[in-house]
Amino acid sequence: MTLEQIKMPQLGESVTEGTIEKWLVKPGDHVNKYDALAEVNTDKVTAEVPSSFTGVIKELIANEGDTLAVGEIVCTIETEGGSTEEIVEVVEAAPEQPTAETVKPAEVQKNAAPINREKGAKARYSPAVLKLSQEHGIDLTLVDGTGNEGRITRKDLLKIIESGEIPVAKQEEPKVEQTQATPQAQPSAAPKTALVNVPVAVGDIEIPVTGIRKAIAANMLRSKHEAPHAWTMIEVDVTSLVQYRDSIKNEFKQKEGFNVTYFAFFVKAVSQALKEFPMMNSMWAGDKIVQKKDINISIAVATEDALFVPVIKNADDKTIKGIAREVNELAGKVRSGKLKSDEMQGGTFTVNNTGSFGSVQSMGIINYPQAAILQVESIVKRPVIMDGGMIAARDMVNLCLSLDHRVLDGLVAGRFLARVKEILENITKENTSVY
């Protein structure tokens, strides 16, 4: 018999940790390779952790509600010979632990390393626990954990914070907190989240914040704090596009079984413009900018309580029909809870269909670490002064672009939007095919 470890898998691009929402097994259960062990929440997806082995669950290392970094051990499993091949495509090895002389504060949060407590016990602090303790000045050596083997959980810290009786951190700061990184490599410190004492009156409803909602909030806060947002807007006359789409929509639906939406035309136009302006398809990486080769369009799909961002891979190589099919399929998977983690990965630019709920102007938060997000607003009929001074009712739409000013400047963003406008305004039945 061999004792093997199951680790937190990589569940999405730029995802560094996941929260155990629910265990689907218990010690003593027999599982087969690829069986689901636990449900995990991240800021991008809710997914299941599969077993890398066939065997018997020995110990659940993490509790429900614990947040663990990618590569951290979540449970152990006892296997027999011949069944110890790991699922390498979903499990990422734990990052090498940096030395105390070189570690940065952000890395302290990212890597949940064993820490010796003054009480003599050896504890493992998850990234969420470390982050909360640093934000609220909690000395973890003074906290009694309720987790497995006395481990401190996020719930323990939230309980302390809510009580207001916070164990004050000692005056001597750990050396790792004082170490300075080079200006280029040092990430910005996350803003501290202040607890607001909101009075609750009779009839008020208190809604618990779910793990995925907390993850979304953390990612949005990081994007706004780290990426200097700039914003620009352009209006586009899509009268010909509307006429063309409306003339084929019924026949298309009958033939293909799904709708050809206006949004598919916009995604196609954006992907074409990204090929011509590749700098828009870039990401900030601290000491360099990474210009991505593939054009993978992230699209925002909302449910009642969460926002998911599935990805249309290689959108520039797809027809309008192909994009419409993927939008339809991905949205269906989100709303049915069947979206897979790999369908959330690899996005390089985000297009958000804010017009679907009637918005005509908005400022999107960039989908970190991408460099820009384009909001496609509602198409509305407006009077427009045409050449020669004539006034006509035209179908107009606003395209609102938020950009990371570290990566992009107004010149390239303006030219990119102008090109998207040109493509959309020249879509007609005569020169455009959806196939």
User: Which residue do the tokens 């809870």 mark?
Assistant: 337
SS3 per residue for 316-332: HHCCHHHHHHHHHHHHH
User: Rounded to the nearest 5 degrees, what angle is found at the Cα of 16, between the Cα atoms of 214 and 76?
Assistant: 100
Q: Is 35 a catalytic residue?
A: no
**Catalytic, out of 246, 305, 317, 409:** 409
**Do you find a cis peptide bond into 369, omega within 30 degrees of 0?**
yes
Q: At what angle do helices 262-276 and 239-256 cross, to 10 degrees?
A: 110
Q: What is the 3-state secondary structure (H, E, C) of 224-236?
A: HHHCCEEEEEEEE
Spatial neighbors of 159 by CB under 8 A, at least 6 apart, are none
Determine the Cα–Cα distance for residues 191 and 134; give it in Å rounded to an integer: 11
Tokens 């626990």 correspond to 129
Q: What is each CA distance from 101 to 181, 228, 374, in whole angstroms?
A: 10, 30, 42
Cα end-to-end span (Å), the chain: 57
The rounded radius of gyration (Å) of the Cα atoms in the chain is 25
**φ/ψ (deg, to 5) at 401:** -110, 125
Helix (H, G, I), strand (E, B) or coil at 370: strand
Q: Is 136 annotated in the active site?
A: no
Closest CA to 111 of 17, 192, 184, 176: 17
- 296 burial (CB, 10 Å; 0-12 / 13-18 / 19+) is buried
Interatomic CA distance for residues 126 and 110, integer angstroms: 8
Residues designated as active site = 405, 409
